[in-house]
Amino acid sequence: MFELLDIIGTLVFAISGALTAIYKKLDLFGVYCIAFVTALGGGTVRDVMIGRTPVGWMLDIDYVYIITLGFFLSIVFNRYLERLRISMFLFDTIGLGVFTLIGLEKGLEFGLSPVICVILGTITATFGGVIRDILCNEIPVLFRKEIYATLCIAGGILFFLLQELQIQSNIISLIVAVFIISFRLIAFKYNWSLPIGSVFVKKE
């Protein structure tokens, strides 16, 4: 289950990054680079933080193949995606749920506390998107009012609460992934958001 989630997360984040780069009209090399950093950026930051070096993708060439597949799928089928922004959002949302779980599991492998595991899950899920947005000259979604990292944190808390109920690990992973993906889609549909920082600034 864990390996399958890892493959799915890498693929959908690679597609998300590639679609963003295509929308920004980058050349093919630029599209591939953005796909690469989107898929592996969060995991790379996580691995460096926990001292897991060489980082995961350097030890397994399959990650490069998966990203290359996502790159080609994006190039071939982007013309059939009538609403490119919606497609990017959907792939980004799926990756958000899956990579949160991967970060949580990595933290548990290293025997870290639940709080640190939740932080690692959030970093794994969001920092690839942060790097993608910065390279594409966008304000990262993580720093905007859109509900994004908050869902990763909530999903991580739900993960450990379900573990206390002695639920099978595969079922926990499915519930948490569905929770994160569903709530982000609902938040998008109903335009839910966190208050912006200026709300707390005293007006003259």
Any alpha helices (H) in 24-168, and if so which ranges? 28-49, 56-59, 62-77, 84-109, 114-135, 149-164
**Cβ–Cβ under 8 Å, residues 72 and 3:** no
- Polymer length in residues for the chain: 204
Dihedral sign computed on CA atoms, order 137, 45, 11, 76? positive
Give 60-95 pLDDT, tens digit per residue: 999 999 999 999 988 888 777 545 567 677 877 888
- SS3 label, residue 181: helix
Question: pLDDT tier at 38 (50, 70, 90 boundaries)?
Answer: very high
- Say whether pLDDT at 57 is over 70: yes
- Say whether pLDDT at 19 is over 90: no
Question: pLDDT tier at 1 (50, 70, 90 boundaries)?
Answer: low
- Please give the pLDDT value at position 95: 85
**Cβ–Cβ under 8 Å, residues 138 and 151:** no
- In angstroms, rounded to a whole number, what is the distance separating the alpha carbons of residues 130 and 59? 24
Q: Which structure tokens are listed for 149?
A: 């990292």
- In angstroms, rounded to a whole number, what is the distance separating the alpha carbons of residues 116 and 108? 9
Give residue limits of the domains in the chain: 2-194
Q: Which residue has the higher pLDDT, 49 or 89?
A: 49
- Say whether pLDDT at 152 is over 90: yes
Give 181-190 pLDDT, tens digit per residue: 999 999 888 8
Question: pLDDT tier at 12 (50, 70, 90 boundaries)?
Answer: confident
- Say whether pLDDT at 2 is over 70: no
- Please give the pLDDT value at position 190: 84
